Amino acid sequence: MSNNDPRSRIALALDVPDLDAAKRLIEQTQAHVGVFKVGLELYISIGPKAVEVVHAAGAECFLDLKLHDIPATMGRAVARASEMGVAYLTVHAAAGREALQAASDHAGTTRLLAVTVLTSLDATALDEIGLEGDPRGAADRLGKLTWSSGIRGFVTSPLECAGLRDLFGHEAFIVTPGIRPAGTDIGDQKRVMTPSDAITAGADLLVVGRPIRDAPDPAAAARDIALQVDAALSS
């Protein structure tokens, strides 16, 4: 898929409890979605089979385990994920320079994505965990640490996306969760944006979960988001 194909710009979160539910959601949406994200719930439930079912559908797998550990463990875990052939793998930028460098050294063909500030956190929550300032400032600081460690991919809220794009230019690959079509419930997310606005802000890949998964017709919901992405890419 080309970068101008809307499917390549949408990652559907397979936040479901079992293999059958994952297969069903992939089948319903794969005409409009090119990347499927395997997160903690599904991976803990069925392990590597979750990656296999995505690959069997001919799609790219985004393994979202948010690794945060000592450098040696990070390096070995990233190496195993790369051997599985996943296209994307998340690590926490807050793991520190040595851990990020170890991850980068073992990534192979897998693109690493460093999580800056979770979309469920606001300034008050950041202060409680010892990160001073607002989410934009924290994302910029963690982004600079990530960049200097050799990792060129980021996960950040759409509200911090433009700032990271300004800092690092087109070489950066920016993934934005917290995508909510206009009029939908934002749930536990604090910093959200519509699909078209996120693309305009500079996002390369949009992570969408509940607006598709919980829709009465997931296929129609995926199609509508793909149309919004296509319109933004064409403008």
Contact status, residue 51 vs residue 17, Cβ threshold 8 Å? no
Long-range contacts of 72-75 (CB under 8 A, 24+ apart): 72/102, 74/99, 74/100, 74/102, 74/103, 75/102, 75/103, 75/105, 75/106
The token pair that represents 102 in the structure block: 């170890």
Strand partners, 91: 67, 114
Q: How far is Cα 5 from Cα 226, in angstroms, rounded to an integer?
A: 9
Q: How far is Cα 19 from Cα 66, in angstroms, rounded to an integer?
A: 21
Strand partners, 175: 155, 205
* Residue 190 pLDDT: 47
Query: How is residue 86 annotated by DSSP?
Result: -
* Residue 158 pLDDT: 83
Count CB-CB contacts under 10 A for residue 127.
13
- Name the residue with tokens 């948010």: 66
Q: How far is Cα 63 from Cα 86, in angstroms, rounded to an integer?
A: 7
The token pair that represents 11 in the structure block: 């990652």
Catalytic residue among 37, 66, 144, 190: 66
- Name the residue with tokens 């700032």: 163
Q: How far is Cα 47 from Cα 87, in angstroms, rounded to an integer?
A: 17
Per-residue confidence in pLDDT tens, the chain, 235 aa = 667 899 999 999 999 999 999 999 999 999 999 999 999 999 999 999 999 999 999 999 999 999 999 999 999 999 999 999 999 999 999 999 999 999 999 999 999 999 998 878 888 988 898 887 788 888 899 999 999 999 999 999 888 888 999 999 999 999 998 888 865 554 555 456 889 889 998 999 999 999 999 999 999 999 999 999 999 999 7
- What's the CATH number for 6-234? 3.20.20.70
- Region for residue 68 given its phi and psi (left: phi exceeds 0; alpha: psi -120 to 50; beta: otherwise): beta
Q: Is 66 a catalytic residue?
A: yes
- Region for residue 153 given its phi and psi (left: phi exceeds 0; alpha: psi -120 to 50; beta: otherwise): beta
User: First and final CA of the chain: distance in angstroms?
Assistant: 20
Threshold 0.85, pTM exceeds: yes
Q: How far is Cα 31 from Cα 34, in angstroms, rounded to an integer?
A: 8
Residue extents of the structural domains in the chain: 6-234
